[in-house]
Structure 1
């Protein structure tokens, strides 16, 4: 059988001429954008929490609410409730007094104030890729979680004793809503500490120790 001429020739090149990928091609590199994005979200989230805390402080320091304020507040829930569940101005005033005396407003306001302060400072440091910034954010969100849920529970207990209908349901749901929001905030604040690439950006020079076992 004669050899066929296909019009081209194939030559095996030396293995040394084949380019090899660099050793660090698949290495995990630091992620500097992720922590900075988290820092921005934490900063704006702290602004919202500060507004909530300031509102609670105003309610804590207000001994009596004006009738016009209460009537305006009760317009929507009373329009959605049955006649038997309508809340009067006197009932809401009793609820406000009990919620204030229980310390619910004060506890939530104080906890959110401390938490937002830590988160403000922590977000600035985290944006600069300082590791303690992430820890400050986690601590602030944790304080906000404990104080927010505890304060909301005290306020909800006062609502159970004095309110009914849709307004009572609103205060009962607010406890769970506060907990979910703060747990989400803790998870977001902890991302730079849990993600490997983000953690490398916060700790750029890790020290590795190799232990030798003596025979």
Structure 2
């Protein structure tokens, strides 16, 4: 009965994640993150989007309203997240993102990412203090719960600013999109419509003040 076993297992994971998330997070704050553990930029811009079922390599979410999501996620959605977690981060598929796995993943965004930044990225999401990001609940919670903090905005600014010049440019964003597998046409639309819509002086790049608006700062 392998199908029944997998369904039961998925149900247990769903119930455990629902219990954890609903006990800690109000309904109106549940929002799918645009990043992979990340890895995530919350909705802070009227033009941002949240997708109902995320696809590998996609950078941006789809349009959302505060009550768009139920207080827990479906088994189908968890299955998609688990596949993405295993494909992009957890290469040995043990349900945990280690330091080495996370460093390799963050290097897709910024090949110059420092070990201290990787450790800080993990620490901000590692709620049980075991030094890794567990799929449930830490990864799942990070993906569907928005983080509007300045710390999160700065963390992603530093990752997107790959040459360290304190500007996030169109070229940097397009390069990141290619590394994480976003189709070229879709990446170009997202970079122009989501990020560079905040380029107030029209210089085709974002300084910190322009970038942090994406996070509602």
- Normalised by the size of structure 2, how large is the TM-score? 0.24
